[in-house]
């Protein structure tokens, strides 16, 4: 949802639109993002006490136990083709690898930097890697990868942990 969907520019300033549904969705988005940040800080505490792979396995097991009864993926629709099934397994393995790296990032870098770096979805990271490896036909993808790399580079270069503090 874009900001102009929620707020309407007026000569006197910003006024909320009359749509209560968009205001509700915007408020819900802010609350969910806040709860996600709190969850990442809780994961940081858990990752210091439990091994990262075990923690990831536990979260995937809980998510599967919740989602499979609701979605019922094995009862509805026609079965998947073999090629599509192989592609889904490949994407699932890549997603697990990215999530393991994410958990290690929380452990090593702390929750705040992990939120800044990994707020992008895994598909954004994979699209950036594919653009770097294969090249791209569009200039917008190239600009996006350059902006992403500059953001990561600025986080690395502006890291204050590498400086040694002197006695005060």
* Short-list 100, 103, 107, CA closest to 48: 107
Assigned token pair, 93: 């393995």
Mention every residue, 6+ apart, whose C-beta is less than 8 A from residue 7. Answer: 14, 15, 16, 17
Segment among 28-32, 142-146, 159-163 with least mean pLDDT:
159-163
Average pLDDT over residues 25-42: 87
Given a cut of 80, whether residue 117 has pLDDT beyond it is no
C-beta separation of 33 from 95 below 8 A? no
- Residue 92's pLDDT is 85
Given a cut of 70, whether residue 164 has pLDDT beyond it is no
Length of the chain: 168
Please report, for the chain, the start and end positions of each structural domain, with discontinuous segments joined by +: 22-73+80-110, 120-160
C-beta separation of 1 from 22 below 8 A? yes
Average pLDDT over residues 97-101: 82
Per cent of the chain over pLDDT 70 is 80
- Residue 74's pLDDT is 73
Task: Give SS3 for 164.
Answer: coil
Segment among 35-39, 100-104, 111-115 with least mean pLDDT:
111-115
Output the average pLDDT for the chain.
Answer: 77
Distance CA 145, CA 25 (A): 30
Given a cut of 70, whether residue 5 has pLDDT beyond it is no
Q: Sorting pLDDT into bands at 50, 70 and 90, what band is 31?
A: very high
Assigned token pair, 2: 């874009």
Mention every residue, 6+ apart, whose C-beta is less than 8 A from residue 26. Answer: 1, 5, 6
pTM, to two decimals: 0.49
The predicted-structure confidence for 17-30, as pLDDT tens digits, reads as follows 567 788 888 889 88
- Residue 161's pLDDT is 59
Given a cut of 50, whether residue 145 has pLDDT beyond it is yes
Segment among 10-14, 84-88, 110-114, 163-167 with least mean pLDDT:
10-14
Rg (CA), the chain: 21
C-beta separation of 97 from 65 below 8 A? no
- Residue 1's pLDDT is 47
**DSSP code for 158:** T
Instruction: Tell me the three-class secondary structure of 44-103, residue by residue.
Output: HHHHCCCCHHHHHHHHHHHHHHHHHHHHCCCCCCCCCCHHHHHHHHHHHHHHHHHHHHHH
């Amino acid at each position: 949802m874009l900001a102009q969907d929620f707020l309407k520019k007026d000569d006197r300033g910003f006024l909320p639109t009359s749509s209560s549904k968009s205001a509700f969705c915007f408020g819900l988005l802010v609350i969910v993002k806040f709860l996600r940040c709190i969850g990442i800080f809780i994961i940081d505490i858990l990752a210091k006490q439990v091994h990262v792979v075990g923690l990831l396995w536990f979260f995937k097991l809980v998510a599967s136990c919740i989602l499979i009864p609701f979605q019922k993926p094995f009862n509805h629709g026609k079965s998947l083709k073999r090629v599509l099934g192989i592609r889904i397994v490949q994407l699932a393995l890549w997603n697990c690898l990215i999530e393991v790296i994410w958990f290690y990032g929380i452990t090593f870098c702390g929750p705040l930097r992990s939120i800044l770096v990994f707020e992008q979805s895994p598909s954004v990271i994979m699209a950036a890697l594919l653009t770097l490896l294969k090249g791209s036909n569009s200039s917008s993808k190239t600009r996006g990868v350059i902006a992403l790399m500059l953001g990561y580079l600025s986080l690395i270069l502006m890291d204050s942990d590498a400086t040694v503090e002197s006695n005060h």
